[in-house]
Amino acid sequence: MSNLTGTVYRSTGSWYDVKDIHGKDWRARARGVFKVEGITSTNPIAVGDEVVLEPEPGQEEVAQIIDILPRQNYISRQSPSHRKQHHIVASNLHQSLLVATIKNPRTSTGFIDRFLIAAEAYHVPAVLAVNKADTWSKKEEEIFAAWQGIYEPLGYAMLATSAATGQGLPQLKAMLAGKTTLISGHSGVGKSSLLNALMPGFSLRTKEVSQWSGKGMHTTTFAQMFDLPEGGHVIDTPGMREFGIVHMERAELSHYFPEMRNLIHQCQFNNCQHLEEPGCAIKAALEAGQINANRYLGYLSVFDSLPQNHWE
Ligand code: GDP
Ligand code: ZN
C-alpha cells in the first residue's frame, strides 16, 4: 500500500489519531525523531499537522508517520516540566476563538488582552465570543457594549452567544464554517456547551471521556480536532487556560497592539518603550483618547511580566 497524507486529529503521547485525505482514520506512531524548524519541542507532532503516513503492512488502520509537511503557523506554550522547551499545541490554524464571560466566571480584560497579544504574535487572527448572554441584566449588556466598542474597531469580531438559548449561534457557525479554529477560554465559560450546540453527537464524546478519565488520568489535557457539520474544524484544548506569550521581548510588545502598531515609528526615540519617554506618539494618542486607557494598562502589565530586552 502506498504512502498517503493525512491530518493529525489527536496526540496522546506516542500515538496519534490521523485522518487521511479520503476520510479514513488511522492510529499512527512517529518513525524516528522529528526536528521541525530547528526548535526543541516536547511533542514534535501536533494536532493540525499535515503528515505523510506509511501504512504498516498486515495491520489494519495502523501506520507510521514518516514526515511532517511545512506548517502554515502554530501556537505553543512553555513546557510545564522544561522551561527552555516549548510544547506545540496546534498548527495550521485559520483563527483562534476566545470564549469569555462577563459573569460566572468573569473573564478579565487583562486576560482577553493577553490572548490577543499571543494571537497577534503567532499571526493567528482572533475572534471573541462572550457567552452566557442569557444571564445578562442591563449592567452586563452595557459591559458587553463597552467591550465591543474597544475590540471591534481593532479588528476583533465579538459576538454575544448563549449555548442555553441559541443566541448568536448562527453567527458563530458562520464565523467557523470552512475554517480551522482553535478554541480557548477559562474553564466554566461554556466551551463544551457551545461545541455541543454546534456539533450534533459531540455530547456523546464528552460523556464518554468524562466517564473514563478518572482522577490522575491526563486525557483532558490533549488537544483534539473535530469536524464541523458545515465543513471546517475546531480544535479543543481542554485544561489549557491560555496559550503563552513565549519568547517575546519587551521591544516587540507594542507591535502586537493594532492601535499602537502604526504609531510606533512616530515616537521621538526609535527604541521608545512608550513609558515616560518624551515625544512618545503612543502616550500622545492615549491622552487624546485614541488609545483606550485599559488597553494601555494591559500593555504596561504585560510589559512588566516580560524579560528585559537583550541589549539592556
Ligand atoms: P467549559 O469548561 O468552558 O467547557 O464550560 P461548560 O460547557 O462545561 O459549561 C460550564 C457551565 O456553564 C455548565 O454548567 C453549563 O451548563 C453552563 N453554561 C454553558 N453555557 C451557558 C450559557 O450560554 N448560558 C448559561 N446560563 N449557562 C451556560
Ligand atoms: Zn513611544
| pLDDT tens digits, 25-54 | 999 998 876 665 555 566 688 999 999 999
Atom of ligand 1 nearest to the CA of 186: 3
Please report, for residues 68, 89, 190, the alpha-carbon distance to residue 86 in angstroms, rounded to integers and kept in the order given. Answer: 18, 9, 28
The closest residue, in CA terms, to atom 10 on ligand 1 is 188
Give the Cα separation of 190 and 182 in Å (integer).
Answer: 15
Task: Centre a 10 Å sphere on the Cβ of residue 102 and count the other Cβ atoms it contains.
Answer: 21
Per-residue pLDDT tens over the stretch 262-297: 999 999 999 999 999 999 999 999 999 999 999 999
Cell matching residue 230: 458545515
Nearest to 112 by CA among 77, 146, 147: 147
- Do residues 25 and 40 lie in contact, with contact meaning Cβ atoms separated by under 8 Å? no
Q: Is the predicted pLDDT of residue 210 greater than 50, yes or no?
A: no
Atom of ligand 1 nearest to the CA of 162: 23
Give the Cα separation of 210 and 214 in Å (integer).
Answer: 7
- Torsion sign across C-alpha atoms 11, 53, 77, 196: negative
DSSP single-letter state for residue 47: B
Instruction: Tell me the residue type at 141.
Output: E
Ligand with an atom nearest the CA of residue 299: 2
User: Separation of 116 CA from ligand 2 center, angstroms?
Assistant: 21
Give residue 270's pLDDT.
Answer: 92
- Do residues 190 and 131 lie in contact, with contact meaning Cβ atoms separated by under 8 Å? yes
Give the Cα separation of 16 and 103 in Å (integer).
Answer: 37
Give residue 212's pLDDT.
Answer: 43
Q: Among 172, 189, 193, 207, say which to mutate for ligand 1: greatest number of ligand atoms within 8 Å of CB.
A: 193
Per-residue pLDDT tens over the stretch 80-110: 666 666 778 899 999 999 999 999 999 999 9
CA end-to-end span of the chain: 58
User: Separation of 243 CA from ligand 2 center, angstroms?
Assistant: 27
Q: Indicate the SS3 state at residue 2.
A: coil
Can you count the helices (H) and strands (E) in the chain? Answer: 8, 13
Cell matching residue 121: 504574535
Residue 79: pLDDT band with limits 50, 70, 90: low
Query: Does ligand 1 lie within 6 Å of residue 191's CB atom?
Result: yes
Specify the range with the lowest mean pLDDT, choosing from 32-36, 152-156, 230-234.
32-36
Please report, for residues 76, 221, 223, the alpha-carbon distance to residue 88 in angstroms, rounded to integers and kept in the order given. Answer: 4, 13, 10
Give residue 280's pLDDT.
Answer: 98
User: Separation of 123 CA from ligand 1 center, angstroms?
Assistant: 29
| Planar angle of CA 98, 73, 63, nearest 5 degrees | 105
The closest residue, in CA terms, to atom 6 on ligand 1 is 190
User: Separation of 258 CA from ligand 2 center, angstroms?
Assistant: 14
Residues with C-beta atoms within 5 A of ion ligand 2: 267, 272, 274, 280, 282
Cell matching residue 147: 467591550
Q: Is the predicted pLDDT of residue 65 greater than 70, yes or no?
A: yes
Atom of ligand 1 nearest to the CA of 135: 26
Helix axes 138-151, 109-121, angle to 10 degrees: 30
Per-residue pLDDT tens over the stretch 110-127: 999 999 999 999 999 999
Q: Is the predicted pLDDT of residue 204 greater than 50, yes or no?
A: no
- Do residues 196 and 99 lie in contact, with contact meaning Cβ atoms separated by under 8 Å? no
